[in-house]
Amino acid sequence: MTIATEPIGSLPRTPELLAALQEHAAGRIDDAALADRQQEAVKDTIARLEDLGSPVVTDGEQAKTSFVTYPLEGLTNLDPAGVVIPFADGHIRQLPRLTAGPFRYGRNADAYLTTAQAHATVPVKQAVIAPSALSLVYPAEGIDGYSRDRFLADLLDEAETDIRRCLRAGAHQVQIDFTEGRLALKLDPSGGLLDSFVRLNNELLGRFSEAERSRIGVHTCPGGDRDSTHSADVDYALLLPRLFALRAGAFYLELAAEPDPRRVLDLVAKHADEESRIYVGVTDPIDPRIESAQQVRDRVLLAAQYIDPERLGTCDDCGFAPFADDGSTSRETAFAKIAARIEGTALAAAELGR
């Protein structure tokens, strides 16, 4: 038998691209020169993933400033002083704040997808940001002449368009990044914020047919930036039942970093429906130790005790560099972990197939 295995999305940028980003920020190179470096980085990323035998590839998000803000690139109705996301090690990331309506995407994800497809010989998946994350750019005090309800309607239209463009372009899978799910419980322990996020994301998913949703997955993790997380201290048990209320065809779950994976897998077995494919994280991107193929194999075999192997898949816990300036994990370490995931998954599949 075979077990599906996929990357989540982001990979550390190439050294040449990191240098180009600094030069661009300082005004020493123009947009065209930066785009050339991004194109080279995408080509290198896909070639290396294919050399490892990855059956599905991504562009490594080499051309994204971050996994969450790509739709905001080029917009002029934003103020940088928006919602602050604190991480356990003390550093923060800050979202911009919308200052006027209407809300429109400045860039759609299919631009990254088609660029990657030009270099790939295997299927390409595409990550998109959940509307629940982008809903945080609307200010709490509101915007004169542009209500929150109007904003959410525009946001859903834009998010739907983003996914449909990727599906039409031939994405193997469209992965909705929902890393704010666990964070919502930290910001609002009552669960009200998370419930509102789930309702919003389900409004989006409800716009797609069952066949289309079979190609749409949801990824969750407690954040992963500069070797730190924003919500790993929140009990996974509070998120998972609500997560599986989402009408997605697949779920990509952080698991390798969990202290009690059996407890998490038991929750998955209890709350996931029998139709969705479940991808479990078998490598931890923020742990500098490189997993062995045997360690990955054992993690897969454990998961197979709780999830039907026919609908089991593997992934990395989260992206390796969701923000472009994150250099905490080297590119070599990331590819070594991916190699272990691919080999270990194949070892487990062979054992389960006996």
pLDDT in tens, 269-286: 999 999 999 999 999 999
Q: Find the angle CA(209)-CA(2)-CA(335) to the nearest 5 degrees.
A: 95
Q: What's the average model confidence in pLDDT over 110-137?
A: 98
- Pick from 130, 142, 143, 253: which is nearest to 194 by CA? 130
126, 109 contact by CB (below 8 A): yes
Residue 303: what pLDDT?
98
Q: For the residues of 159-213, what is the DSSP string, one character each? A: HHHHHHHHHHTT-S-EEEE-THHHHHHHH-TTSHHHHHHHHHHHHHHTTS-HHHH
| 26-37: average pLDDT | 95
Residue 50 is predicted with a pLDDT of 98
For the domain made up of 4-352, the CATH class stated in words is alpha beta
In this prediction, residue 254 carries a pLDDT of 98
pLDDT in tens, 175-210: 999 999 999 999 999 999 999 999 999 999 999 999
Q: What single string gives the DSSP state of each residue in 249-294? A: SEEEE--TT-S-HHHHHHHHHHHS-SSSEEEEEEE-TT--SPPPHH
Model confidence over 163-180: pLDDT tens digits? 999 999 999 999 999 999
140-169 pLDDT, tens digit each: 999 999 999 999 999 999 999 999 999 999
Cβ atoms of 239 and 185 within 8 Å: the answer is yes
Q: Is the pLDDT of residue 135 over 80?
A: yes
Q: Average pLDDT, stretch 83-110?
A: 97
% of the chain at pLDDT higher than 70:
100
Please give the pLDDT value at position 146. 98
The pLDDT score that the predictor gives to residue 118 is 97
Residue 1 pLDDT: 87
- Confidence band, pLDDT 50/70/90 cuts, at residue 232: very high
Pairwise CA distance, residues 108 & 115, whole Å: 12
pLDDT, residue 6, reads 98
Share the mean pLDDT of the chain. 97
pLDDT, tens digit, for every residue of 233-253? 999 999 999 999 999 999 999
Question: Measuring CA to CA, how many Å separate 108 from each of 78, 79, 217?
Answer: 18, 21, 18
Q: Domain extents for the chain?
A: 4-352
Which tens digits make up the pLDDT trace of 293-346?
A: 999 999 999 999 999 999 999 999 999 999 999 999 999 999 999 999 999 999
Question: Would the pLDDT of 354 be above 80?
Answer: no
| Rounded Cα gap, residues 160 and 156, in angstroms | 6
Q: How do 312-316 and 277-283 pair as beta strands?
A: parallel
Computed from CA positions of residues 160, 59, 36, 225, in that sequence, does the dihedral angle turn out positive or negative? positive
Instruction: Provide the pLDDT for residue 46.
Output: 98
Return all residues near 100 (Cβ < 8 A) that are at least 6 apart. Answer: 77, 143, 146
